[in-house]
Copies of this chain bind each other. A is one copy, B any other.
Amino acid sequence: MDKIELIGFVAGILVAISLLPQVIKSWKTRSTKDVALSWSIINLSGQILWIVYGVYISSTSLVVMSSIALVMNIFMVTLKLRFG
């Protein structure tokens, strides 16, 4: 992997895992009052389309990273609906 592809790869990893601390925080505090539900839903819709696009263009990185983000968004939507 050359330097440029490595930058892209690290970028994707960072963006994909960025939601993890938010999910952990919401899970621990049981409070999601300040989190916008529409944010998670719009992001989730985008991730589903990224996966479809990734499968079509045969981009493993895109499919893997969008899947990670999708799972975390599903957690966030569930936590938001549960804790309000």
Which residues in A have some Cβ–Cβ distance to B below 8 Å? 4, 7-8, 10-22, 24-26, 29, 31-36, 38-40, 42-43, 45-47, 49-50, 52-53, 56-57
Copies per complex of this chain: 2
- Are the CB atoms of A19 and B39 closer together than 8 Å? yes
- Complex: A10 Cα to B52 Cα, angstroms: 11
- Are the CB atoms of B17 and A49 closer together than 8 Å? no
Mostly helix, strand, loop or mixed at chain A's interface?
Answer: helix
- Complex: A7 Cα to B19 Cα, angstroms: 23
- Complex: A49 Cα to B32 Cα, angstroms: 29
- Complex: A4 Cα to B59 Cα, angstroms: 13
Q: Which of B8, B39, B49 contacts A53 (CB 8 A)?
A: B8
